[in-house]
Structure 1
């Protein structure tokens, strides 16, 4: 099975890092390399431009692809599951929770365009013509879509377009170029995509589960402690945890009181206060560790 991943740009490093954390160590990587093996002999990596990855998956050059939803939507249809997918659709298997951005409709701050309706018969420049046409069809506005390959935000200022549809993460570039957001076109993040005909492949599910386990572990911590058995209910009140705690009997303390070892997964943001409260109810030997992967 082959996974297509971005070969450069802002998505390259976090994608490789995610694969490494999921246990898919990439071997023999080098600059300008097109293919690489992983520690799994059944899984290899194809390096490609982020915009080309959806087409690589559709054409069968790769079985899975990791790229932005914006790129997948621009290349054709995206379905939430195999059952609702058309023949050429990609199936959105998993939101990987990075590379978040918005595709927005924007126009000059001091211009006459204040709403989508003001663009009837107007010219809109974009690097995403397919998504943009679908958007204007959806809102019932007939606009002339002009495809550009860069510096989209400059086109309204050189009389090439009345408005643009472009990607923004922070909005800084739009503000610098005196452009105001008129409407949101698409919310995007990096996703794991597959062709509909391979969704049920056990190896595809194995990869999806591995990536999902890394995401589930983010922001979680593993707490271990000893506590008086008589105070177990109080300990549970402090740390309800994910799916309850693991409790094991241990040797009695020096006073002969029964003790238990308690292990639990908690949200990282709860750890600071939880430790103080656990000490108040008699917990000792409290240990906090990071979690690499969590299969829920």
Structure 2
């Protein structure tokens, strides 16, 4: 039997990724201190890897496909196939941002003010290329962690750090002077695996279902019964992907109406539907929208 080797990101995205796969149709069972979780698909084997290393493993063929950030693919200058973006995060569903930050009371106001200064970051290669393109000479050192604290302690003049909400940046009293880049989660494939017809079809099918699970996030189904004379007025209230599904109820001048709407619309919509005469309203969660 053919088998696809899949890499899952360790760390902050691990839980969210496993939950996404569950919505897409795969049950992954991680085990304590085990980097090879079980998955209920005999055609897949899983490995959990640090996002910083994922693109290298995919490029080398140790993995056929993997999920990691665009930032780390650029950092490693990996030659992989981009299957597509998977825009999700534990906080916001927005791309993460790599920013250049300095101490709140620093005299550094612009990028040019960093000439000859020391910058700490985990994203060394991307940062080095950025400053070289700008023609600004900086001393870049690799950070093993707690990057923001190094500015506070006076060990460096600036940091290049990733943020979603800027809360950690602000908590350390830092000030952002420039946004270096945006990054989001991506699904990558090894070039040889992509050229293998069976593996490519498996990867593409997986991506379709993962995207469907993401589209279903914060979208719900609504189903209700509506009397014939009230149908047109109520249907005008209903948002939908295309148009509501309407079916006759047996031997009655009533209709069953079903639609898909954004979750944040429902709280205002249901009271309006009731006032217009909708009955038996059911709200239900969705796993995938494709």
* TM-score interval for Structure 1 and Structure 2 normalised by the shorter chain: 0.7 to 0.9
Q: In structure 1, what is the Cα distance between the partners aligned to 2:254 and 2:128?
A: 66
Q: In structure 2, what is the Cα distance between the partners aligned to 1:58 and 1:98?
A: 24
Mapping for residues 216-295 of structure 1, pairs under 5 Å: 216-253=215-252, 258-295=253-290
Q: In structure 1, what is the Cα distance between the partners aligned to 2:110 and 2:219?
A: 43
2:157 is matched with 162
CA displacement at 1:37 relative to structure 2: 4.0
CA 1:92 to 1:166, structure 2 compared with 1: closer, same or farther past 3 Å? farther
Q: In structure 2, what is the Cα distance between the partners aligned to 1:260 and 1:197?
A: 53
CA displacement at 1:232 relative to structure 2: 2.5
Q: In structure 1, what is the Cα distance between the partners aligned to 2:152 and 2:180?
A: 22
Mapping for residues 21-170 of structure 1, pairs under 5 Å: 21-27=23-29, 29-76=30-77, 88-91=79-82, 93-99=84-90, 101-156=96-151, 160-170=155-165
CA 1:214 to 1:164, structure 2 compared with 1: closer, same or farther past 3 Å? same
Question: Is the partner of 2:52 in helix, strand or coil?
Answer: coil
User: Pick from 184, 191, 208: which aligns with 1:189?
Assistant: 184
Moved more, 207-216 or 172-181: 172-181
CA displacement at 1:123 relative to structure 2: 2.4
CA displacement at 1:288 relative to structure 2: 1.1
Deviation readout 1:201-222 (Å, 9 max, x if unpaired): 1111111011111111111111
- Between the two proteins, the alignment pairs up a number of residues equal to 279
CA 1:170 to 1:242, structure 2 compared with 1: closer, same or farther past 3 Å? closer
Mapping for residues 169-184 of structure 1, pairs under 5 Å: 169-184=164-179
CA 1:284 to 1:293, structure 2 compared with 1: closer, same or farther past 3 Å? same
Q: In structure 2, what is the Cα distance between the partners aligned to 1:157 and 1:286?
A: 55
2:6 is matched with 3
Question: Is the partner of 1:112 in helix, strand or coil?
Answer: coil
Q: In structure 2, what is the Cα distance between the partners aligned to 1:92 and 1:136?
A: 30
Query: Where does structure 1 lack aligned partners over 5 or more consecutive residues?
Result: 78-87
Deviation readout 1:123-155 (Å, 9 max, x if unpaired): 222111111012213433232322232232343
The two structures have a TM-score, normalised by structure 1, of 0.85
CA displacement at 1:171 relative to structure 2: 3.0
CA 1:262 to 1:137, structure 2 compared with 1: closer, same or farther past 3 Å? same
Question: Is the partner of 1:46 in helix, strand or coil?
Answer: strand
Question: Is the partner of 2:269 in helix, strand or coil?
Answer: helix
Query: Where does structure 2 lack aligned partners over 5 or more consecutive residues?
Result: none
CA displacement at 1:74 relative to structure 2: 1.4
Q: In structure 2, what is the Cα distance between the partners aligned to 1:159 and 1:266?
A: 51
CA displacement at 1:196 relative to structure 2: 4.5
Question: Is the partner of 2:42 in helix, strand or coil?
Answer: coil
The two structures have a TM-score, normalised by structure 2, of 0.87
CA 1:163 to 1:211, structure 2 compared with 1: closer, same or farther past 3 Å? same
